[in-house]
Chain A
Amino acid sequence: MATASTSLPSAGPVSGSRSFLSRLRDGDEIARLITFVFAATVVLISILLVLELWHDSVLPRHKFGLGFFRTTTWNPVEGDFGALPFIYGTLVTAAVALFIAVPLGIGAAIFLAELAPPRVSDTLEFFIDLLAAVPSVIYGVLGIFIVVPLMRQYIAPSLKSILGFLPLFRGPAYGLSFLTAGIVLAIMIIPYIISVSREVLLSVPRDQREAALAVGSTRWESTWKVVVPFARSGIMGSIFLALARSLGETMAVAMVIGNDPKISASLLAPGYSIAAVIANELAEATSELHTQSLIELGLVLFLLTFVLNGLARILIVVTSQRGAGRARA
């Protein structure tokens, strides 16, 4: 991703030396125009999306201003709206999901790409792709019937007894909580991390491994010290794909997070996320201010994803320059 050149892709050196008419006859110019339009559509859709969200959230933007981001009340009856509990819930559940999914996902990808026999690797990859394609509502059902009861009866009590000195694991455990949502999200995003990371690891050139083995490193040393750093930017890419998915996940989160717009230090407490509240309340929002506040939440989620993705890009550029420098040295 980061290694892609920053200059715009051009039609190549050949195109300049021929007349426009001959290029048109060959179809080069037409193909260029058509594909350019397709590419431009992506940008256009993003811009239209932001404009539309911006335009349809006039009322709350004028009424609450920046207070929308700071206040914690969400009261459709009184017409008082604040986004903070939802932003908090979205970030916390995504963080929990990544905390669980990243080590598991990357570990599994390393095993599949480097250590497992190709046949095992390909078979497992088939199942992982299958998991990635399961609709999220299925994961939500799985969450309600399996993760929630497990959480209430076993996981939460043991977390409280072992780590209860931390504010993270206190209070009554209903089973519906930030942690439950995080776990369900982790289950959902692990296939993405494994699938993409495995591809990236497999595409690391053979000579990198052979060179490492030739200078006397063990198999694990060559994997951990050469192959993984070489694939770092791709692995990061897989993590940010997973992050984007967990920020925007709606159904599964709405089913297990508890849907209570409160900010709690405890991961065992119920919370709420941006995507969940939009899905829950938009259909029955009767006042214009309520509808528009939900749309502004949509804008906030878009910006949140945008900012986090931007930070991710910067992180990849910075680390891959360092990594690439070392790899080349």
Chain B
Amino acid sequence: MKRIAGIIVVLLGAAAGVLWADALSINGAGASFPNPIYTKWFDEYHKKNPNIQINYQSIGSGGGIKQVTEGTVDFGASDGPMNDEQLKAYQDKHGSPILHFPTVLGAVVPTYNIPGVDATLNFTGEALAAIYLGKVTKWNDPLIADANKGVKLPSEDIVVVHRADGSGTSYCFTDYLSKVSEEWKTKVGKGTSPNWPVGLGGKGSEGVTGTVKNTPNSIGYVELIYAEANKIPYGNVKNADGVFLKASLASVTAAASGAVKDMPADFRVSITNAKGKAAYPISTFTWLLIPEKFSDSAKRDAIKGFVTWMLGDGQNYTEALSYARLPKEVVAKEKKALAEIQ
């Protein structure tokens, strides 16, 4: 028994020694929505560059921003861009700014459960805002019915379901509602956990999906990748050009292309309700938050190397995991911005 324990200790020590001696360890933390693709990327990148080991903890966007500001991780990740206040806090603490780098795109889709209705429903932005404001309470309300001619909607009360946990999904959804409804903007606003006027809170995507599945006449919203992975039916949403679109990887990438013209140099841009006939309106970037200045040049080069790879070959891994890839224009811009990291 003792001998076995001894051997294990020696082996562990040797393994740790190998890891510590050879691999450069880089730590990141933040958003949970892109965690599957990040895990894949860091794993693939490590296979290609065995001397670089990137560790990522999906602790949530808020946590990612906090940790990178505190300096406890080398980079952060967030589903929503940092606001001016947070940027200033970072600048004050470190003396140099932090940069945003979009990595992939995600989308939010409305999902519903109405007994007797199998058709894919069309939703306008006004209808979604009115439902989540508690102003439209019946499924056969003209605001919903007019966009769904030929579908027999019941005269039942709508049960509204939203995320209870703070989430980038809620941020994207309320960001969209703020753009299409003045009343939503003034009464509720956008945020990772806004003050919902009505509805039940489900914990996590699985909580929202479970509640919608179990509750007749309910409506909820989930990430596209979650709906795809779990084969959950979802509705079409009317975009800024007046077209009812079903979310797909192509229509989400199109939303990003539509927003490229107005993209600020720091990439902090919302692409909800983007222009373009083929653009799905409830789409969002997710970002890596990378400090402009690194004191450790090895770490700096490793991170720059990773981002370069991620913008090139790395993008080929996106579709298999149901993430929409970045449009070419954004990739070109990011490659230019990468030079700013010193």
Contacts and interface: CB of A to CB of B under 8 A. Distances in A.
Given A283-B62, A284-B167, A259 B203 contact: yes
Contacts of A282: 166
Contact of B164 (A76, A144, A172, A259): A259
Contact of B215 (A77, A174, A286): A174
B200 A260 contact: yes
A258 B62 contact: no
| Shortest beta-carbon contacts, A-B, top 4 | A284-B166, A259-B201, A259-B164, A283-B60
Nearest to A141: B210
A236 B159 CA distance: 42
Interface residues of A, number: 31
Given A176-B211, A255-B203, A284 B164 contact: no
B189 A286 contact: no
Decide if the interface of chain B is mainly helix, strand, loop or mixed: loop
25 contacts: A74-B195, A76-B166, A76-B191, A76-B192, A76-B195, A77-B188, A77-B194, A144-B214, A175-B215, A176-B211, A254-B203, A259-B200, A259-B203, A270-B201, A280-B165, A280-B166, A280-B201, A283-B62, A283-B63, A284-B62, A285-B193, A286-B62, A286-B80, A286-B83, A286-B192
B166 A281 contact: yes
Nearest to B211: A176
A276 B204 CA distance: 13
Contacts of A272: 201
B325 interface: no
Contacts of A176: 200, 211
A172 B243 CA distance: 36
Contacts of B201: 258-260, 270, 272, 280
Decide if the interface of chain A is mainly helix, strand, loop or mixed: loop
Nearest to A140: B203
A255 B168 CA distance: 20
B199 interface: yes
B250 interface: no
A148 B203 contact: no
B195 A149 contact: no
Given A172-B157, A286-B62, A280 B194 contact: no
- Output the residue of A74, A255, A283 with the most chain B CB within 10 A: A283
B62 A285 contact: yes
A250 to B, nearest CB: 10
Given A148-B214, A175-B214, A176-B211, A284 B189 contact: no
Given A76-B191, A77-B195, A281-B165, 16 more contacts: A76-B166, A76-B194, A77-B188, A174-B215, A175-B215, A254-B203, A270-B201, A280-B203, A281-B193, A282-B166, A283-B63, A283-B166, A284-B167, A284-B168, A284-B193, A285-B193
A207 interface: no
Interface in A226-274: 254-255, 258-260, 270, 272
B328 to A, nearest CB: 31
A75 interface: yes
Interface residues of B, number: 35
A279 B157 CA distance: 30
A78 interface: yes
Given A77-B191, A283-B62, A286-B86, A259 B202 contact: yes
Contacts of B214: 144, 148-149, 152, 175
B251 interface: no
A198 B24 CA distance: 58
Contacts of B199: 260
Interface of A: 73-78, 144, 148-149, 152, 172, 174-176, 254-255, 258-260, 270, 272, 276, 279-286, 291
Contact of B61 (A74, A144, A284): A284
B207 interface: yes
Contacts of B80: 286
Contacts of B86: 286
B194 A75 contact: yes
Interface in B58-72: 59-63, 65
Contacts of B196: 260
A285 B166 contact: yes
Contacts of B300: none
B193 A280 contact: yes
Nearest to B63: A283
A56 to B, nearest CB: 13
A259 B166 CA distance: 12
Contacts of B191: 76-77, 286
Interface in B7-61: 59-61
Contacts of A270: 200-201
Contact of A283 (B157, B165, B200): B165
Nearest to A261: B195
Given A149-B214, A259-B201, A259-B203, A77 B190 contact: yes
A280 B196 CA distance: 14
Contacts of A144: 207, 210, 214
Given A174-B159, A255-B207, A77 B202 contact: no
Contacts of B59: 283
B62 to A, nearest CB: 4
Contacts of B190: 77
Nearest to B207: A255
A76 B193 contact: yes
B59 to A, nearest CB: 6
Contacts of A148: 214
Nearest to B192: A284
